[in-house]
A and B are shown apart, each in its own frame.
Chain A
Amino acid sequence: MATRQTRTLARLMMAPAVVLLLIWMIVPLSMTIWYSFQNYNMLNPAMRGFAGFFNYVYFYTDPAFYQAIINTLFIVVGVLFITIVGGIALALLLDQPIFGQGIVRILVISPFFVMPPVAALIWKNMIMHPGYGVLADVSRFLGLQPVDWFAQYPLTSVIIIVAWQWLPFATLILLTALQSLDEEQKEAAEMDGANFANRFWYLTLPHLARAITVVILIQTIFLLAVYAEILVTTNGGPGYATTNLAFLIYRTALLSYDVGGASAGGVIAVVLANIVAIFLMRAVGRNLDR
């Protein structure tokens, strides 16, 4: 229907964003691919040269590699699970008429404004520390042995911290979606004598499907890249218990200064992220087109 003129105009309007992002993608990506085939350790500049696929093989055969992939998935899935289930529950709760709704909402969304290193520091020092943390004090008060979170449940601890940061985001999106649910529909269902579980399952949840996919899509992008929280709290350990792909690349790039290896890791991560993305976008595409 659009005329040729408006189509040209539309393209022109899109051009700056597309061109900039194209540059932003191509330049670093091609440099990364180039370096991934080079022997290039920043601390040993003499040993430069073509490396073939060696960097890939070396990164892939790293003893931590498989665990890093599994940990990455655990972090993504674990945080998504907590934030979506928790987010739905919170959204349902905040959708009720309650006293002091404004303040409650402010309190709930606050963690989203905290920068990741600060969040990690608060949790590590003041909440989960086995000696001086609040949780340790509480367990001592209850007569229990304090839990050494980062030694006994390292990955769980990291997941809790990251989930705490993302819970507000999920809650907000789900709450907005919930509030758009037609009052009449809700009332009609109530009239029909549908109980809460039924109403939730047949009316609310389908209505939230789109919001949930949006949360999954956006959060996954950020969760695949989680590393600051790990660096501050566990340094990837104990063992490889909290080493995820992003942290493994970090270790290669900023502890070993192995640019070639880190680039190969970066390329592997991009490929894996895109595999995840294809799955996701199928799902999202379907859900968003409805």
Chain B
Amino acid sequence: MARAVSTRRKWIATAAAWVVALVIFFPIFYMVVTSLKTEPEAIAGISLIPSGTFENYVEVQTQRDYFKPFLNSVIISLGSTLIALLIAIPAAWSMGFSPTRRTKDILMWMLSTKMMPAVGVLVPMFLIFRDTGLLDTRIGLTVVLTLINLPIVVWMLYTYFREIPGEILEAARMDGATLMGEIVYVLTPMAVPGIASTMLLNIILAWNEAFWSIRLSAANAAPLTAFIASFSSPQGLFWAKLSAASTLAIAPILIMGWFSQRQLVRGLTFGAVK
């Protein structure tokens, strides 16, 4: 009896979840479908079965080489994430293991640096970049994205480290472990999931950052966000081509997200779980 109810409940939940999931995913799905249509088909009304042409992708590629902005996106998002982690891990570590009364204030202050509206500081930033020769360089964009996402990284790591019980350290110390040994053998394995998910979240945020990455780059450092800007709203409605370019721009991060979904979720608590 109870079993029958639970199976029925499972089916109902399954149906509901699938419907909701498909609705949420539909815009992305429809974008991919549209990218496989011809231009007249793309505006001919709803149809989920495209004629299956890859012409749009070929055209997008001939009009603007995909590889360079793709490489820039990879370098900038990975680079900024790694640097942010290097800076944030020690900070979060000390906040997590020897918190003071001011730790929380420092964290909140760090987050508040993100509240400056980017467009309000564009001109000052542009001038700084011009004078330091960082305009249109990957280094410049990497630095900016590192700083933009640093507060989130510190916070996420801090909340994760805080959950690691201090007793384990003491036990290890009792066993005669050195500080190095403590870090390498005891803490790191416990911290890896948190670091991994922080890294993933940060890569996503850096990949999708569309203000600075468009405005501080020209030809050399332009990432995929700028790639999109070279296809949106030209003369005429080229939705199929635009969809192909959009698909190309989000595909790498989407696929990475799908594969690392479990790792991403595991650490994505921001201290919300006790």
Interface residues of A (CB under 8 A from B): 2, 6-7, 9-11, 13-14, 16-18, 20-21, 24-25, 27-29, 31-32, 35, 42, 90, 93-94, 96-119, 121-123, 125-127, 131-132, 134, 137-138, 164, 167-168, 172-173, 175-177, 180, 210-211, 213-214, 217-218, 221, 224-225, 227-228, 232, 245-246, 249-250, 253-254, 259, 262-263, 265-267, 269-270, 273-274, 277, 281, 285, 288-290
Contact = CB atoms under 8 A, between A and B. Distances in A.
A122 B247 CA distance: 11
B43 A132 contact: yes
B4 interface: no
B60 interface: no
Given A254-B122, A270-B117, 5 more contacts: A13-B93, A29-B116, A217-B111, A253-B122, A267-B120
A115 B228 contact: yes
B250 A113 contact: yes
Contacts, number: 286
Interface string B155-193: 000000000000000000000000000000000000000
B221 interface: no
Given A121-B242, A172-B265, A274-B115, A96 B13 contact: yes
A180 to B, nearest CB: 4
B116 A125 contact: no
Given A21-B151, A221-B115, A93 B128 contact: no
Interface stretch (B51-59, B62-70, B206-214): B206-214
A20 B228 CA distance: 31
Contacts of B44: 132
B45 A262 contact: no
A96 B232 contact: no
Contacts of B258: 106, 110
B150 A126 contact: no
B90 A14 contact: yes
B71 interface: no
Interface residues of B, number: 92
Contacts of A217: 111
Contacts of A29: 116, 121
20 contacts: A10-B94, A20-B87, A28-B121, A31-B121, A90-B20, A100-B18, A112-B257, A113-B253, A115-B208, A115-B210, A116-B208, A118-B228, A123-B27, A125-B237, A127-B30, A176-B268, A176-B269, A213-B272, A218-B152, A254-B119
